[in-house]
Every structure is written in structure tokens, then in C-alpha cells.
Structure 1
Amino acid sequence: MTTTPASEPSAITPRLRVAPSPTGDPHVGTAYMALFNLAFVRKHGGRFVLRVEDTDRARFREDSEAQLFDTLDWLGLNWDEGPDVGGPYAPYRQSERLDTYAPYIDRLIESGHAYYCWCSSERLKELRAEQERSKSPVTGYDRLCHGKTREERAQLPGFSETPVVRMLIPDDVPLEFDDLIRGTLKAPRPDDQVIRKADGFPTYHMAVVVDDHEMGITHVVRGEEWISSTPKHLLLYRWLGLPEPKFAHMPLLRNANKSKISKRKNPEARLTWFRDEGYLPEALVNFLALLGYPPIIETDDDGERVEREMFSFEEFSDGFEWNKVNPVGPVFDLTKLDWLNGMYVRELPTHELAARLLPYLVAEGVLPERPDLGELGRLEAITALIQPRLTHLTKAGPQVAPFYAPDDAVPVADDARGQLKDDAPAVLDAAVTALEGISTEEGDIFGEGRGWTHENIEAALRAALVEGLGLKPKFAFGPLRTAISGQRVSPPLFESMEILGRHSTLTRLRALRATL
């Protein structure tokens, strides 16, 4: 059952959180949730909390937390409180808060809302198998331990020395609740959920309620897979006499076949993948917003309403409303992200794009770790040349590398050499002669007064090769492109020659000619 979404926000200053588990590379869904939490918080002057839920020690990975901090910071999704920055409700790691949960669990046991369970994992496995075989309408734990002492339970099969603690779900458990995105929801009836494991660590269900209360969280924003758990959490709030937060369940990110995007099957589910692939953080943030939120609507000069899909985080936050979130699981369309990324790349100032390319070029060995001023100056000129066609930062390397190759030993790709015709030697000889006539001094033969410029280079080569040799441009300039870049496809030829300079250009042409 779904009705109109509940109203928000309350008069209380909003405090929202994202609470990932450090069990591997951060999931892109963590950034997706953080984005929507942060947009609401920034609009209403609240506080955004990063809490690390590391109670799953079997899957815990030590480097995962550092990756989490690094990738969210790269995206600009900065938190006000967290393990690395502290805050009034520290500590912000669940593993450091174990003493916090014990009194709450004790209260539930004393009030009869929770009980010890000594069933072994083998017995529970057999119970599930039997329920599946018999197609029992009642599934979940059968309450064998409820109402028994340790000694009484020890007389029965499937006994474990170390008990867990389970909730005692009442028959009349409320299953409906209000959701800021979806309105009134009804979840299935839960079973007697474990709230403390045999190792003494609380389960997610217990820890999340206690931590959200202790940290003053006013709105719990999470994926729709947690809808079925919400009645359990609301029971815990009510049993413990704690104020209930508001809930907003976000749609899950999905593949084209509607399956949930997962790190095991989808490399793009890993948040680190996007930086490795050369996406801009602002493009990824914009893309994640569009997955669950409509474009910005504006009025054009003709008074028509138009959609704008490119917007900043600030614009997203300023107009944010929970009732605008689309509850339908969005398809994670990388083609759309590629388009957005290309748009953002082309809008960057050239010097800033060059600075963002630098780490990738250093990692690929195109540039040294500490390039000199001349190399950096050339990079900015090259960046301006390739920027109109660049879609990913990682795609710049092959285009930039030839500009830093030794002039007398430019690596020539097989397909570039293979497309050279029998007249390539004559074309290169004529090009060298024509370019030798261009002076680098002011006041050259073309009367431009600018010497070695792409305009003068193009004019000289067209006169010598197209008009002089009677060649079509495609065949006239192909050998020159091979000599300059070593590639069949390269940045604009004449501009490349201008950037390289007269000496380097002539050396490269002569070097290829010598091999033919």
C-alpha cells in the first residue's frame, strides 16, 4: 500500500548519516546514498555523519576504510563528523562502541522483549532445510529456546555453549510505516531476529538503532532492501522508549536487466573504478543525482519549460525535496555517464584539465614524476588541442605521448606504417622542403608576421602537396601524421606541428623518411 509521501523536514535541525561497512572496495551505492543525504542536510543547515559499521569481522578489510574516506572526499561528499574528523558523538566506528550496546540489549532481555538462543548453526541449517522441503508457510526461527533456561536447553539436540540474543517479535507487530519517498509502506512480518551474535558483537539491526539514537540521527536514508527490516527497527525504538527517526528508502541501482548492481559482477559497482577510468568527480556526482532525481526545469527565452541535465551539487541541494525522488530502481547507464563526463571535460578551463591529466600521464610514464616548466607548458598547449574530443582522462595518454617521444625515434604503430603508399618518400621530401621555408622569426614569407604557426604550416603544406603534387589531402597528409605522431589517428596535424616546433617537426619527418 502506498499513499502520498510524508511531509518533511521537521523543525529539528536535521542530522543524517551514511554508514558503510569496510568489507572491500567502497560500493558506488555508498556515494549514491551519501549524495542524497548530503543534499538534504546542506539545504536545511544540518549535519552529515559518516559512521563505519565494522561489526562484520569475518568480512572486514583493513584498507577499505581508507578507500572509503579517499573516494568520498574525491567526490566532494564531505562529512561533518566521522572517524577521521571526530565529533561530539565519537567514536564513529561500531567496533569501538561495543560497550554502548550492552545496556540496551540487557534492558530488552529484562523486559521480556529479547531472549537467549543456544541453537547451533547446524540445527538452524537443518531447520531452514526442513521448512523448504515441507514448503511450510511459517519460516524463520521456531523459538525452541524461548522460555528455557540454559540447563533446560542443554538437554535438547543442537545445543551451542555460546548463545546469541534474539528479539521476541509479538504477534501484533505493526507492519506499516511512513516513508518520505514512498508514502505509507507495509512490510512482511519479521521473525525473531538475532540482535547479538555469539562473538558478542551486535548485529546490524541492534547497532543501527542504538547508534542512530545516540548520535541524534533524525532521518534514516537507505536502500529499499531495508524496507522489510524497518518494522524490527521501529519495535526496538518503541521497546526502548526512544524517539523514532523519519525513514526514506532509496531505489536500488540496477543493471539493464533490472538485477542489482554488485561488486562481484560489475566493475563499475566499485567506487574506485570511476577514478581509475578517468571520470571527473563532478560528472559522477551529477550522474548519481540523475539516477534518482529529475533534471532541473528551466524556462527558455521563448517561455518554454526545458530540462537541464547538467547541474552542480549546490543546484541539486538548493532544490532538493524527498517527494521528487523517483522510487523506481534506475538503470545504471554508463553511456549516459560517458556523455556527461565528456561535457564536463570540455567545460573545464584548459589549465585545470591539464592539471587533472597530469597524474594519469605520470602513472602511464608519459611524463616524469616531476616535469619541468617546459614540459608543463607543452602539456597545456596539447590539452587545448585534444580537449574538444576527450571523454575520459585515461584516453589522453595515447594522444599526448607522441609529443614527448624522442624526435628521431617516434614509435610508429603497425597500422600507421601499413597505410603508407609508394609515394610516401616523395610526400615527406616535399613537406620537408616546404617547411624549411618557414622561418621562426617575425615577418615570414607568408606575411603573417608570426612565423611558425599552424596557419602558416597548413598553407605551406597545401601549396606543396595538394597543389604542387596534385594529391588529395587524405593522401597528402597521411605520411606527415605518421611521422609526427606515429599513429593513423592523432590530434590536429598542423596544430601539433606548431606545438612541437620547427626543429622537432623537421626531425620527425626526416626520421620517418630515412626508414622508407
Structure 2
Amino acid sequence: MTAASAPVRTRFAPSPTGFIHLGNIRSALYPWAFARAKGGVFVLRIEDTDTERSSQEAVDVILEGMRWLGLDPDEGPFFQMQRMDRYREVVAQMLYQGLAYRCYMSQAELDALRERQMAAKQKPRYDGTWRPEPGKTLPPIPEGVRPVIRFKSPIGGSVSWDDKVKGRVEFSNEELDDLVIARPAGEDQPLNAIGTPTYNFCVVVDDIEMRITHVIRGDDHVNNTPRQIHILRALGHEPPVYAHLPTVLNEHGEKMSKRHGAKPVTAYRDEGFLPEAVVNYLARLGWSHGDDEIFTREQLIAWFDLDHLGKSAAQYDEAKLRWVASQHMKQADDARLAALVHVALQARGIAAPADERLATMCALFKDRCATTVELADWLAMFFVEPQPGEAELRQHVTDAIRSALHALADRLAQATWDAGSIQQAFKATLAEQGLKMPALALPVRLLVCGRAQTPSIDAVLALFPRETVLSRLRERR
């Protein structure tokens, strides 16, 4: 059964050597969406063989970020460091079958070889000194040297594949030397023991044993692919379908990275972005469905394929993300927003029950926000004393307007406490005082809300307790 006809199995295989950012997590979203679209299986594999740089903290950010975005794996997480014994078994099998060999060339010898090749303007590569061939006499095994294990890469010809993003990709086998598939064993091991299997080898064993049919990953892996295909075929398997995604650039046109200011995925959660908004934005960073800009998770799954992946690098745009986020805020359920705002306000020491009143507040203000943190910024005014600027107060709450404020307060004291009745109280006061709405509404906003701009003032006031509004309008400042 070929990869194209087998039940779809995709994987996300991050290395926990730095905090996962939006550019990285896109390589989880696409295989997740493709597996969901095809009724397949999505596997999470943590490639933690770089023990010096890998950290549990980075693993936690990967798991938290995926959980927040709803990119839940069907299998895993699997950790490569927990599978080392299995990788060594396969290396031993390859040695036995003559697919790999021990190489005793020292680092000093390798360095000298590379210097000679570079001086001759040749590409630095291992020259096959220890590669066994029929009729070839190998050098004497040097005493005390711990060998690496190299894969016998095919000689002559080429390796190619049809990439779902890049089209036909081909490498000459002359460009590929014999890859090290296991580093030397430690000092506590016998000289000829199999040491630590390397990344490119572990990836192949995992993809075979996890039955991966589609590898959707960043194009920084393109140069690894021919080597991985050779090892796959040596082990009796045909390669999966590959889709190598173009790089995600930051707003300055540089590759998105922590070094260039990229934030961990979890930072967007902490800033109050809705996860479906981030998923929507990420999906459009390299994939499209016609002209559709705003879509749900369900629509993404229904539409996603590998035929509409972009071939050019996508560029992150904070303003575009915020616009997408604002569209999802408008569509979000008010009770759900209330629960999120409750948590955001609680973090500031503000007690605001996630009740129907808070949900009504969310409904009124969410059109002005891209995140739940911004929504909490607005709604805090309902639970704390306002702090209007002194300059604004002097400008707008003048002695000339105080009689109108007191007249409005008197009418509001008798009105039914709803937006319609509050609006009528404003109209009657404006007519009586000979004022236009802005002249009265702006000072009311400053005194009651602590800010000069809000949604419709009658709807806003209706969400305050009546006594709070009256006391703030009658307060002398």
C-alpha cells in the first residue's frame, strides 16, 4: 500500500530547544487539519535528541500551546530519548545486513580532509575511507578509537520526490556522503558499542513505525529529505508524501524566530486572543480557500487540502492578526466571553462574577475589541472607581453643565432602569437645557465611566447600578 492510498497518518515533530512560536506551530496546524479533513490520525512526537539544548519548559510550552489551540493529537506525545534502545536495535540490524558500517576516522582526520577538499575547491564531504566494498582492503582499526556508524548511501544516480508544495525535487547522490547515523559510544561502554543514534536516522525509524503517510513540515528540512528517503528505502519502505512549507517571516521580513522577537504561542493566550482566531490567522499564513478570510475550525477541516498550500514565504502581520481576532470576538458566545473576562479581571484583583450581567456587558463592548484582555480593560470600569483625567474634567465638566447633570440625575432617579427609559431621560434633559447630545453625554461618560468614549451611553448606564450612576453624576469634583 502506498502512502497516498493508506489511511492518512500525519505528525508534528518539534524539537524542544526553544519556545514554540507561531511560525513553528503552523507546522502542527496543517498536519492536524489534514488528518482531520481525511478522517486520519495526527501524531505528536517530541524530537528531544539534542539533550544539551532541550528543556522540559520548552516541552510544556509545546503541549500547552497545542492544547489551547485545540490541536489535540490522537497519539503521543512520544519522546525520542525514550526510544533509544529501539533505534540502536535498528542500527545493529543495518550493520548486520551491510547497510551501515563503523567508521574510525578521527575528528582530526576529518578536519584535515575537509581542509584539503576546500583548498581544492571541492565540496567538503566524507571520502568513504572506512566504507566496505567488494575487493577493498580497509585500513587497520586504530587502537582506542570509538567509531561512529555511517549509512551506506547509494552511489551514482539521484533521489527525487514530488513535493506537494515545491513540485519535483531532485538531488544527485554525488552530493550526499555517508551519513553518520550513530555517534560514538560513551566512555563507560565497550569501544564498538552503538552510541547515540542521530536525528535524521531516528526520524526515519519513527516515521516507519508510526506509519506516517504525509510529512508536512518546514522547508528547512528539504536538505534532510534525500538522506531520509535513502534510509527509508534501505529499510524496505517507500517514502511518505512530503509537503515542505515555506518559511514564516516576521514583520521585518526576517525568518520568524525567538532571536528576532517571536513570542511563545502561549503569550497570545495570555494576551487574550481567542484560540479560533489564531487558528484562522495561522491557516491563512500559507494556505487559502478562495477569498475566504474568516472561517471556523469546522470550515477549516472541511476545506483543508494540500493542493492550495502557498509556495512563497508568508509574512506575519500583527495588524492582520488583530483584525481576524476582532471578527471572531464579534461572533463569540457572550457567556463564554464572560467566563474569560471573569478570569482576566480576577487576575487584576477585581471580583466580577461570570453571570448574565457580565455576559450582557461583553455583548455591548466586544465589537470594540480584538482580545478578551481588551474587553476586560473596558469592563473594569463597572467594578472599580473611575479615574478620569483632570484636564478632561476641567474641559468638559464645567459649572455651566452641572445643572444639566443634576437635572439628568433627578430624572434617572425616577426612571425605569433600562436603556430605553434612560434614553428618554437624556432627551428630556437636553430639550429642557437647550443642549446637544455630545455636550451632555461626554461629561456623563467621564464621571460615570472614567473615559470619554463608550458605546451608546444609555445602554452603558443601564449596566451600572442606578445608585452608582446617581452618586457619580452628583459628585462634586
Which residue is equivalent to 2:378? 399
Q: CA RMSD in A?
A: 2.9
Answer whether contact 1:179 1:185 (CA < 8 A) is retained.
yes
Shift in CA distance, 122/287, structure 1 to aligned 2, threshold 3 Å: farther
User: How far did 1:109 drift?
Assistant: 3.3
Aligned-pair CA distance for 1:82: 0.7
Quote the Cα distance in structure 1 between the aligned partners of 2:270 and 2:183: 38
Which residue is 1:382 aligned to? 361
The reply to whether residue 64 of structure 1 matches residue 58 of structure 2 is: yes
Q: Tell me if structure 1 keeps the 8 A contact 2:104–2:141.
A: no
Using the size of structure 2 for normalisation, the TM-score is: 0.86
Residues 85-104 of structure 1 aligned to structure 2 (within 5 Å): 92-104=78-90
Deviation at 1:59, TM superposition (A): 0.9
Range that drifts further, 29-38 or 496-505: 29-38
Q: Which residue of 1 aligns with 2:198?
A: 203
Measure how far apart 1:496 and its partner are: 2.1
Residue segments in structure 1 that go unaligned for 5+ positions in a row = 1-7, 84-91, 155-159, 297-306, 445-450
Give the equivalent residue in structure 1 for 2:421: 456
Retained in 1: the 8 A contact 2:341–2:372? yes
The structure-2 alpha-carbon separation of the partners of 1:149 and 1:96, relative to structure 1 and needing over 3 Å to count, comes to farther
Give the stretch that moved more between structures: 466-475 or 335-344: 466-475
1:238 alignment partner in structure 2: 233
The alignment partner of 1:452 has SS state of: coil
Pick from 491, 501, 506 the counterpart of residue 465 of structure 2.
Answer: 501
- Corresponding residue for residue 364 of structure 1: 348
Distance 2:93 2:7 in 1: 29
Shift of the alpha carbon at 1:395? 0.9
1:490 and 1:126 map into 2 onto residues whose CA distance is 73
Question: 1:271-293: per-residue Cα shift (whole Å, max 9, x none)?
Answer: 11221222111111122222222
1:336 to 304, 314, 320: 320
Any gaps of 5 or more consecutive residues in structure 2? 187-194
Which among 317, 327, 334 is matched to residue 350 of structure 1? 334
Partner of 2:192: none
Q: In structure 1, what is the Cα distance between the partners aligned to 2:356 and 2:218? A: 47
* Alignment-derived partner of residue 9 in structure 2: 15
Shift of 1:129: 7.0
Query: In structure 1, the residue corresponding to 2:453 is in which secondary structure?
Result: coil
Q: Secondary structure at the match of 2:304?
A: coil
Match of 1:488 in 2: 452
Cα distance in 2 between the residues matched to 1:131 and 1:498: 81
Q: Indicate the larger mover: 245-254 or 497-506.
A: 245-254
Counterparts of 1:284-295 in structure 2, within 5 Å, are 284-295=278-289
Assess if the C-alpha contact under 8 Å between 2:409 and 2:473 holds in 1: no
Q: TM-score, normalised by structure 1?
A: 0.80
Indicate conservation of the 8 Å contact 1:190/1:229, yes or no. no
Asked whether the equivalents of residues 366 and 397 of structure 1 are also in contact (C-alpha less than 8 Å), the reply is no
Native 8 Å contact 1:187 1:227 kept in 2: no
3-state DSSP of counterpart to 2:417: coil
Give the structure 2 partner of residue 421 of structure 1: 395
Q: CA deviation at 1:98?
A: 0.7
Q: Give the SS at the match of 1:227.
A: helix
- Matching residue's letter, 2:409: L
Cα gap change, 1:107/1:150 in structure 2, threshold over 3 Å: closer, same or farther? farther
Task: Give the equivalent residue in structure 2 for 1:447.
Answer: none
1:97 is displaced (CA, Å) by 0.6
* CA 123–314 in structure 1, closer or farther in 2 if over 3 Å, else same: farther
Are positions 1:434 and 2:436 aligned together?
Answer: no
| 3-state SS of paired residue (1:36) | helix
Match of 2:311, SS?
A: coil
1:263 is aligned, of 242, 258, 262, to 258
Task: Verify the 8 A CA contact 1:217 1:245 in the aligned structure 2.
Answer: yes
The answer (yes or no) to whether the contact 2:10–2:42 under 8 Å persists in 1 is: yes
Q: Secondary structure at the match of 1:101?
A: helix
Distance 1:313 1:438, change over 3 A: closer
Q: Deviations over 1:423-462 (max 9, x none)?
A: 624424431332223345xxx5xxxxxx122333233334
Between the aligned partners of 1:267 and 1:459, the Cα distance in structure 2 is: 51
For residues 498 and 196 of structure 1, the distance between their equivalents in structure 2, rounded to whole angstroms, comes to 71
